[in-house]
Amino acid sequence: MATSITRTKRGKGRDIAAPSRPTQKDIALAAGVSQAAVSLVLNKAETPSVPPATRTRILEVAQELGYRPNHPARMLRSARTMTFACVIPDITNPFYPGLVRGLQTVAAPAGYDVLIFDTDGRPEGEVRAVEWLLQGRADGVVATFFHLRASQLAVLSRNGIPLVRLESQHKPDGPLAIDSVYIDNVEAAAEMTRFLIARGHRRIAMIQAEFGPSQRRAQGYGAVMRDAGLSPDFITDSAYSEESGARAMKRLLERKERPTAVFGASDVLALGAMEAARIAGLSIPNDIAIAGFDDIPVAKLLGLTTVRQPEFDLGALAARTLVRRLLPGGLEAPGKSHELKFEIMKRTSA
C-alpha cells in the first residue's frame, strides 16, 4: 500500500522506476542560464549571441549530466520526425533487404531513421499503411504499393508527406510530390524472353503473381512471344513466394506437353519453380530451363539466370529523392520518374 520510493521529478503519483533523463532545463539550472540558451548552444555550431565562456560552460554541464535530446519533443516542436518509412510487401522477400540497406545508407548520414511497414502485399495492409502514415510518423515514404492507385495516395502529398514509389515503368510527371524509381520492366522481360528464344526455346511459360510488377513483366514477355510467332503461356498463382512458384510449376509439369523453359516473374517464384522441378526429378537446365527476375543475392549461388534490378541503388536513389523533397520548397517540384538500368544475368539455369 505504501507508495513506491522511486519517483520521477514529475512525481504526483506517476511512479516510474527509471530516473528521468536530464533535460535542457536541468542544464540551464546547473549552468545558470536560460533553457533557450541551452537549446541554442546544443543545436547550433555557432552562437554569436552567447558568450564563449557561457557556451563552454553549457557544453560541459551537458556532458557531465549525460544529456541526450528527447527525440519525441523535438519531433513535436519541429514538426519533423527525421524518419523515413519504408512500406513493402514483405521483408522476408530477399529483394527488399537490399532496398532497405540502400535507403538506410543515404538516410542515416542525412539524419533520418528507417521504419519498416509490411503490407503483406494485401489491399488492407496498404490501406493501413496510409492511415498510419497520416499520423505524422514519418517525414517521407519509400513504398511498393501493389493495389493502391495514385488517387488513393494523393492524400499523402496533400498532407505534405513526399512519396517515392518503386515502380515497374516510367510514370509521367505529375503535380504532386510523388516520385518514382524504376527499371523498365517491360523491356527487361522482353530481353529475357528474346534470350530464351535465342537459346532455342519455343514453349516458354511465365509464372505470374496476381498483383504487382508481374503485369509489366508479362507484357514484355507476351509481346516478344507473339512477335516471334509463339503463343504466350501464362500461369498465375497468388503471391510472390516460393510456395506460389512451386505450385505453379507443379501444374506446368502435370501437362501433357511441358514447356522447355519457365520464366518466373520474380526470383522467388523462379526459386519455387526450381525446387518443384528438382522434386520432380528434372535436371536444370537440361530437362527444363528456368529464368527469374530481380537477381536476389542467392540467385548467383543457385546459378539462376535472371534480370538484375539494382535494389540497393534503387533504395539509395529513393532516399536521395526524399532528402531533396524535404529541403525547403522541395515539395513544390513536379513528381519525377527516375530510371535505373537493368542487366540480364546469364547463368546456368537457362
Partner DNA sequence: CTGAAAGCGCTTACAG
Q: Does 76 bind DNA (CB under 7 A)?
A: yes
What's the CA gap between 227 and 178, in Å, rounded? 35
What's the CA gap between 205 and 250, in Å, rounded? 13
Q: Write down the least CB distance from residue 60 to DNA, Å.
A: 17
Q: What is the grid cell recorded at 60?
A: 560541459
For its own copies, give the closer residue by CB, 144 or 169.
Answer: 144
Q: Does 269 bind its own copies (CB under 8 A)?
A: no
Q: Does 97 bind its own copies (CB under 8 A)?
A: yes
Q: Write down the least CB distance from residue 222 to its own copies, Å.
A: 28
Strands (E), 157-279: 163-167, 178-182, 204-209, 233-237, 261-264
The option from DNA, its own copies, none interacting with 49 (CB < 5 to 8 A, set by class) reads DNA
Q: Does 66 bind DNA (CB under 7 A)?
A: no
Q: Does 73 bind its own copies (CB under 8 A)?
A: yes
Q: Does 158 bind its own copies (CB under 8 A)?
A: yes
Q: What is the grid cell recorded at 267?
A: 526470383
What's the CA gap between 21 and 83, in Å, rounded? 23
Q: Write down the least CB distance from residue 159 to DNA, Å.
A: 12
Orientation of helix 214-227 relative to helix 185-198, angle to 10°: 40
Of residues 34, 49, 56, 70, which one binds its own copies by CB under 8 A?
70
Q: Write down the least CB distance from residue 93 to its own copies, Å.
A: 8
For its own copies, give the closer residue by CB, 224 or 350.
Answer: 350
Q: Write down the least CB distance from residue 332 to DNA, Å.
A: 19
* Options 14-22, 29-37, 184-192, 336-344: segment touching its own copies (CB under 8 A): 14-22
CB 114, CB 104: distance < 8 Å: yes
| Cα 22 off chain centre by | 36
Residue ranges in 232-251 that form contacts with its own copies under rule CB under 8 A? 242
The helix (run of H) or strand (run of E) holding residue 122 is none
DSSP labels, 167-190: ESS----BSSSEEEEE--HHHHHH
Number of residues counted as binding its own copies (CB under 8 A):
52
For its own copies, give the closer residue by CB, 54 or 105.
Answer: 105
